[in-house]
Amino acid sequence: MHTKSIATGQRKGVKWTSTARGPHRKARSIPLVKVVRDILKYADNTKEAKRIIQSQKVLVDKRPIRDHKFGVGLMDVVEIPENKKHFIVLAGEKGLHLKEVTAQDSKHKLCKVVGKKVVGKNKVQYNFHDGSNIISDKGYRVGDTVVVELPQRKPVEHIEYKKGVDVVVVQGRHTTAHGTVDEIEEGTTTRKSLTRIGDVKTLTEYVFPLGKHKALIE
Phi, psi (degrees; rounded to nearest 5) at 14: -135, 165
pLDDT digits (tens, 9 = 90+) for 126-174: 999 999 999 998 999 999 999 999 999 999 999 999 999 999 999 999 9
b/e map of 91-126 (b: 16 or more CB within 10 Å)?
beeeebebeebeeebbebbbbbbeebeeeeeeebeb
Is the separation of the CB atoms in 116 and 127 below 8 Å?
A: yes
> In Å, what is the CA distance from 115 to each residue of 43, 127, 169?
38, 5, 19
How far is Cα 117 from Cα 123, in angstroms, rounded to an integer? 9
Q: What is the per-residue pLDDT for 120?
A: 78
How far is Cα 166 from Cα 212, in angstroms, rounded to an integer? 6
Q: Which CATH number fits domain 3-103: 3.10.290.10, 2.60.120.10, 3.30.465.10, 3.40.30.10?
A: 3.10.290.10
Beta-bridge partners for 42: 12
Helix (H) or strand (E) holding 4: helix 3-8
* CATH class as words, domain 107-159: mainly beta
Cis peptide before 81 (omega within 30 of 0): no
pLDDT digits (tens, 9 = 90+) for 100-135: 999 999 999 999 999 999 997 878 999 999 999 999
pLDDT band, residue 216 (cuts 50/70/90): confident
b/e map of 11-42 (b: 16 or more CB within 10 Å)?
eebeeeebebebebeeebbbbbbbbbbbbbbb
CA 100 from chain centre, in angstroms, equals 13
All CATH 3.10.290.10 domain ranges of the chain, comma separated, are 3-103
Q: What is the per-residue pLDDT for 218?
A: 67
Q: Mean pLDDT, the chain, as a whole number?
A: 88
pLDDT digits (tens, 9 = 90+) for 57-83: 999 999 999 999 999 999 999 999 999
pLDDT digits (tens, 9 = 90+) for 190-201: 999 999 999 999
pLDDT digits (tens, 9 = 90+) for 9-60: 333 333 334 456 777 765 689 999 999 999 999 999 999 999 999 999 999 9
How far is Cα 55 from Cα 44, in angstroms, rounded to an integer? 16
All CATH 2.40.50.740 domain ranges of the chain, comma separated, are 107-159
How far is Cα 45 from Cα 34, in angstroms, rounded to an integer? 10
Model confidence, pTM: 0.86
